[in-house]
Structure 1
Amino acid sequence: MLIDKALKLFVCSVIMCLSVAAQTNGKERGIQNQTLWYDTPAANWLQALPLGNGSLGATVFGGTATERIQFNESSLVTGTTKVVGSYQPFGNIFIHWKHHTVGNYKRMLLLDQALHHTEYVADGIHFKHEYFISHPAKAMVMQISSEKPHSITANIVMKDAHQSFSVVQKNRISFKGLLGNQMKYEAILQVNSTGGRLIRTDSSIIVKNADKLTLTLVAGTSFRPYSGENWLGADPHDELVKRISRVSRQSYQELKKDHVNDFERLFSRVVFYLGETPGIPTNKRIEAYNKGQRDHALETLLFQYGRYLLISSSRKGGLPANLQGIWNDEYKPAWYSQYTTNINVQMNYWPAEVTNLAECHFPLFDWVENLAAVSKNSGDSVLKTTKGWIAYSTNNIMGGPSKWRLHRPGNAWMSQHFWEHYAFTNDTNFLRKRAYPMLKQLVEYWEGHLVERTDGKLVTPDGWSPEHGPHKNESDKSPYPGVSYDQQIVYDLFTNYLDAASVLNVEQSYRKKVEVMRAKLLGPQIGSGDSCRNGWKIGTILQIITVPL
């Protein structure tokens, strides 16, 4: 896989050169490419803009009659270590206004600072909403201000997505509940105003004639990460009360400064400038781009948006970004909105090292190690191995499987991320303690699972390519030997192991054995029409993937 490594080095070189070129033009020019903005509120969830701190996520609609903020917490999942379940929506905050005429509307997501702004003029008064979700504070903070004193009047409601009752006490609205898997969850919203007064009802807090309004949200569950079968932990209530009390002791400006400094520390590592930004809303730029209009600044914006989403959904010490990051408003989302190991979870983390976000990679490492432990200790006979471990195609935060289909090469593919982290950071301590043990046990698994053909070539006996077959349909679980997808992933695993062992200067005799096995692996085969065959089976040409040569 020398071409693969050379390509990665080339991409990194291009990114670094672009960054240096951008710096010579001044950071201010690069900043122009880092804002999504629109001149109307979101009409649906997919149009709402995402905020996140790695565990708490929110999508902001920016409404002027009713503002909706739908929120998630990364551990609210209905599954167990036995059943995959689904990632769940947590709740909604609604801010009901009594504006009559609204104009000069603009909502923005400032990627470089992870701030959501909404500005408009209502009944002749300029209003500004500013929201962020702080990783240092572990809370969402929202401030609404206006240019005219005593002009903020609103009715604030928070609702549980699972229909438990909200409770209003003093200046807080809260709800708590219990999922079917016995996971406890709770959210607390605190309302503070400058000027005016707060009026409590049975289900909401009414703000009357305030100068400024500040809302603080915290949410959590009883999930205990990376604990195998013991994933149910303490009730989140006490921790949430401590957290919101701690946040309350800081001013809004202090919270914002800590948040921006924390986020910029990661985001600002890459500046990418390819031209001036047109002064039109982002959705209209996309429409023009799809019609053929050149907009290189839109391309750099999407590049930085990808980095923004990874930072916002994957922070050290937390869970990895799932199929939808940490944002979901459905009870039965596609593929459970969990972790699919036949490309999706890997794809989430392809930008981690190459765009200088190595710290964001660690939740994936933690999750893979836990998945390995859960799979090894599972009572499921399908997962039994003498060495190493294997897993099903889709698994949840606890390591629980969907059991739709076993996906053997997923273990090797995920281990590639361990090696990549070392390759980009030269962290030999990580290599020795985490990457090498993972690579070694999986090489040992594949050593025992490969079979030798009559011509001496080693093939995987029971493969399938998730996107290209060769299975006839999703219910076809027939074994297909030598599928190219499997063969290349195993080749990559062997190569990464050999490189790791060489760096650490360990197990020379076993390295020689792995070198022999790698050399005997069946490589890509050319089929009819100069295309790459997707697999090998005696007497049969399997499905063809067209690859221009």
Structure 2
Amino acid sequence: MVTKTKKMFKIIRIIVLISFLSFSKGVISQNNTSQLNATHRTYEIWDDQPAPNRGKDYSRIQARGYPTDSDWEAHSYPIGNGYMGANIFGRTDMERIQITDKTLTNGAPYGHGGLTNFGEVFLEFDHYEVKNYKRSLNLNEAILNVSYEYEGVKYTREYLANYPQNVIAIKLKASKKAKLSLTVSAVVPYLRSADAYNHSGETIENIAKYANTTAQDNLITFAGNVPSFSLNFEGQVKIINEGGKLIANNENGSNEIRIIDANSATILISTGTNYELNEDIFLQDSTELKLNSKIFPHKKVTEIIENASLLGYKKLKESHLKDYQNLFSRVNLEVSPSVPNIPTKTLVENYKQDASDIYLEELMFHFGRYLLIASSRKGTLPSTLQGVWSQYHVTPWSGGYWHNINVQMNYWGAFNTNLAETFTGYQEYFNAFTPKTYQHANTYIKKWHPSAFVDSEKGNGWAIGTGSNAYHVNGSSGHSGPGTGGFTTKLFWDRFEFTQDTTYLREQVYPALLGMSTFLSKTLLATEDGKLLVDRSASPEQRHNGVHYMTIGTTFDQGFVWETYNDLLKSAKILGTNDPFLEIVRNQIDKLDPIIIGESGQIKEYREEKKYGDIGDPKHRHISHLCGLYPGTLIDSKKPEWMEAASTVLDFRGNKTTGWAMAHRMNLRARTKEAEKAYEVYSEFLRERTLPNLWTVHPPFQIDGNLGTMAGVAEMLIQSHEGFIELLPALPKAWQTGSFDRLVARGNFEVSLRWKNSKISSVKILSKSGGKCSIKLPNTKGVQLKDRMGKQIVYKITDEDIIEFNTKKSGKYFITIK
């Protein structure tokens, strides 16, 4: 009787559950028709061969960097956790794992500090003539896999860079017991005694590095110092074997550990230096005194390794996936009808010949988000010019932060692709160097505008030049004007607009804007016709008659004074601030005259030019006078004559340029709503600047090209800088059917969209902060707006193609278009 009753209740529960699911399905179908629930794809970069490893070439100098390693650049696969990065070759004979730590530098190439290779870890398998080989980097998981068969045994490796525990973890397995045998060793490259080559005029002392490596029990330790920066460093490689035994060997300088007949093994790698990000590093001018030479990272590195060992690989993997997927899985974007089952290098090569298979265009977007997460996290230095990866003794352009476009480009896509947290690394870096920039402003104004100088600590605002790194920040540049600082504060305002974080606005954005506005106001020269023009102005890196051209009132500088003033006034209004200085800004902003159209129908780069190309290189990589179009908001659709003139400049400038410069052109074309031209430059970028491992080149490799085009894809699909959300503003014909989920619009709205035959079919809006939502649609007739419960929402049409409605925080809204 009891059994029958239990069965009856079980049947009733099943019936109720089915009824509930049917009802729920009906509600979802009725209220959420915008969601097609497309299965999120698994994105892989993969190859059926190991990466070649032919070594370094000291005869090739790239962007002042050396030695060149073409195989590292083009074929290795990168992993990273913000603190450190590793490049994996996936070899079966001698695996190479190249390690970078963003805090390890030497003096080259400018004497102020530049990235340098931290170490190389080798796994000697001696497996040749293997079968069924595959190496793959899974972007959904940020895990790199290597698998193959050798002498009847399947061998697998998993590599991950865990951010919460700050450790690189590798899991090695064999399909049969007692079949895992290899030798693990570590090397610190470019030591003074062997590899201290000098190719760019540096002194040997400036680039010298010393280190010792020892192997004991299950631990390899490599530690040393860089005298020119009083920099102490240490790396540890720990091996945890399951089955078999370990034998450490230090004879003849081998410093290795032999794994013999194990079932599986875990290898943990940790790095550290005595670098600590703080304002004293930037305030201290002497490189030798920036760090405390008596502090060693041994305790810190040891604790990291021990804690990771206690967790074990399984928990390390779980914490890694939880952390990483929280960021990466937020956004889905599909524009390709299918996923080709071919190695990535073949995909790239095929695209160069025939761009009709558009999957590479989709894959590159996701790879960009992967790289940003891997290279910039809270508590780490920002993503450098090379992200978090450098095999070089002297890294190209020092691997630093270049504020006349490159570092900004690294973060353009952080906000609209739902990765605002990655910007925290730069914000922390900015906060550390800011006290030095107030000193720079005092020096600059006292020298060039003495009548405007105020003798107080912050009375002249703050100033920044082009170059900076982990130890140094410039105050001015001979080839980029004062607008460089406004270029930087634009990032802070954008972060607020996308997140609506008023605490961040009050504590970070407003002070930065106020300080930069104060500085810029003192650089302005009043002209006889009532205009205010930046004195000592430059358009970044442009030359005329062989020298960097310095003048008055370039469009770049005038534009970023306007952007900074405009953002400051909007911030003050939101915060209810009534600073007396704001009245000066209000009086000055309309006298800037930032945009002038020349005789060729172009936006002038210089006030004194008449026809396009009169001054400077007409094909220059920088296109700085259009920064008011992107990333700025000065030029928009409300000024169609400016938009047309911007398009004219882009036509004149052309796309034959460096990788990052192509990325800027792509974003600019997206803003002018020239879909096919935006797509054209993206396609050219993929054909001409993309390597087999999907890193992109200036050349050489620079991460800004990857991250800049990632931002460009999002900008083609959604824009929100004109006070409303515009959907598919620059949709090319090649992407006629597709979808995206949870791209972010200003106002902190997460937007999901489906389109078919280039027409929007459904839209979902998640209002993260509440407030008014305005959306531009191609046709407002037949539009239905409902909330998550299926209730009809009243909206008004403010223009013929913009609907406006009020939202609640965390509210979901669904738009269907008949």
- Fold similarity call, TM over 0.5: yes
User: Cα distance 1:538–1:59, how it changes in 2: closer, same or farther (>3 A)?
Assistant: closer
| Alignment match, 2:129 | 101
Aligned 8 A contact 1:228 1:398 in 2: no
| Alignment match, 2:265 | 213
Of residues 279, 290, 299, the one that matches 1:227 is: 279
SS of the residue 1:485 aligns to: helix
1:159-308 aligned at under 5 Å gives the runs 159-163=187-191, 164-179=211-226, 180-202=228-250, 203-229=255-281, 231-233=290-292, 234-274=295-335, 275-308=337-370
For residues 100 and 268 of structure 1, the distance between their equivalents in structure 2, rounded to whole angstroms, comes to: 38
Segments of 5+ residues of structure 1 without an aligned counterpart are 1-19
Bigger mean CA deviation after superposition, 259-268 or 115-124: 115-124
| Alignment match, 2:84 | 56
Structure 1 residue 294 displacement after superposition: 2.1
Identity within the alignment, %: 29
Asked whether 1:31 is paired with 2:29, we answer no
Asked whether 1:445 is paired with 2:516, we answer no
SS of the residue 1:463 aligns to: strand
With normalisation by structure 1, the TM-score equals: 0.90
Structure 1 residue 511 displacement after superposition: 3.2
Aligned 8 A contact 2:599 2:610 in 1: no
For residues 370 and 181 of structure 2, the distance between their equivalents in structure 1, rounded to whole angstroms, comes to: 33
Structure 1 residue 470 displacement after superposition: 5.0
For residues 194 and 539 of structure 1, the distance between their equivalents in structure 2, rounded to whole angstroms, comes to: 75
User: Cα distance 1:377–1:518, how it changes in 2: closer, same or farther (>3 A)?
Assistant: closer
Aligned 8 A contact 1:471 1:478 in 2: yes
Amino acid at match of 2:418: N
Bigger mean CA deviation after superposition, 529-538 or 506-515: 506-515
Structure 1 residue 437 displacement after superposition: 0.5
Aligned 8 A contact 2:544 2:615 in 1: no
For residues 78 and 487 of structure 1, the distance between their equivalents in structure 2, rounded to whole angstroms, comes to: 37
Amino acid at match of 2:471: M
Aligned 8 A contact 1:84 1:402 in 2: no
Aligned 8 A contact 2:113 2:472 in 1: no
For residues 337 and 402 of structure 1, the distance between their equivalents in structure 2, rounded to whole angstroms, comes to: 19
| Alignment match, 1:505 | 576
1:424-435 aligned at under 5 Å gives the runs 424-435=498-509
Structure 1 residue 505 displacement after superposition: 1.5
Segments of 5+ residues of structure 2 without an aligned counterpart are 1-31, 53-70, 192-210, 285-289, 447-452, 455-459, 624-648, 652-671, 673-818
Asked whether 1:413 is paired with 2:487, we answer yes
| Alignment match, 1:16 | none
Structure 1 residue 197 displacement after superposition: 1.0
Q: How many corresponding residue pairs? A: 523
SS of the residue 2:363 aligns to: helix
Structure 1 residue 372 displacement after superposition: 2.4
| Alignment match, 1:369 | 431
Structure 1 residue 455 displacement after superposition: 1.3
Aligned 8 A contact 2:468 2:474 in 1: yes
- Kindly name which structure, 1 or 2, has the bigger radius of gyration based on alpha carbons: 2
SS of the residue 2:229 aligns to: coil
Structure 1 residue 172 displacement after superposition: 0.3
Structure 1 residue 193 displacement after superposition: 1.2
| Alignment match, 2:410 | 348
Asked whether 1:321 is paired with 2:373, we answer no
| Alignment match, 1:7 | none
For residues 250 and 216 of structure 1, the distance between their equivalents in structure 2, rounded to whole angstroms, comes to: 11
With normalisation by structure 2, the TM-score equals: 0.61
Structure 1 residue 151 displacement after superposition: 1.1
Aligned 8 A contact 1:226 1:366 in 2: no
| Alignment match, 1:15 | none
For residues 173 and 154 of structure 1, the distance between their equivalents in structure 2, rounded to whole angstroms, comes to: 15
Amino acid at match of 1:500: S
Bigger mean CA deviation after superposition, 296-305 or 411-420: 296-305
| Alignment match, 1:146 | 174
Structure 1 residue 529 displacement after superposition: 2.1
User: Cα distance 1:402–1:133, how it changes in 2: closer, same or farther (>3 A)?
Assistant: farther
Structure 1 residue 308 displacement after superposition: 0.7
SS of the residue 1:31 aligns to: coil
Structure 1 residue 181 displacement after superposition: 1.0
SS of the residue 1:228 aligns to: helix
| Alignment match, 1:40 | 49
| Alignment match, 2:655 | none
Q: Cα deviations across residues 222-256 of structure 1 (Å, max 9, x unaligned)?
A: 00102323752531111111111111111211110
Q: Cα deviations across residues 313-367 of structure 1 (Å, max 9, x unaligned)?
A: 1101211011000100112221110111111110001111111111111111122
For residues 478 and 282 of structure 1, the distance between their equivalents in structure 2, rounded to whole angstroms, comes to: 43
For residues 385 and 422 of structure 2, the distance between their equivalents in structure 1, rounded to whole angstroms, comes to: 16
User: Cα distance 1:169–1:383, how it changes in 2: closer, same or farther (>3 A)?
Assistant: farther
Aligned 8 A contact 1:443 1:493 in 2: yes
Structure 1 residue 370 displacement after superposition: 2.4
CA RMSD of aligned residues (A): 2.4
Aligned 8 A contact 1:176 1:186 in 2: yes
Amino acid at match of 2:332: V
Aligned 8 A contact 2:372 2:422 in 1: yes
Aligned 8 A contact 1:191 1:216 in 2: yes
User: Cα distance 1:402–1:336, how it changes in 2: closer, same or farther (>3 A)?
Assistant: farther
For residues 416 and 76 of structure 1, the distance between their equivalents in structure 2, rounded to whole angstroms, comes to: 29
Aligned 8 A contact 1:270 1:356 in 2: yes
SS of the residue 1:165 aligns to: strand
Q: Cα deviations across residues 371-399 of structure 1 (Å, max 9, x unaligned)?
A: 22123346995586751122231111123
Amino acid at match of 2:605: N
Aligned 8 A contact 1:78 1:87 in 2: yes
User: Cα distance 1:372–1:477, how it changes in 2: closer, same or farther (>3 A)?
Assistant: farther
User: Cα distance 1:383–1:453, how it changes in 2: closer, same or farther (>3 A)?
Assistant: closer
Of residues 169, 181, 185, the one that matches 1:157 is: 185
Amino acid at match of 2:36: T
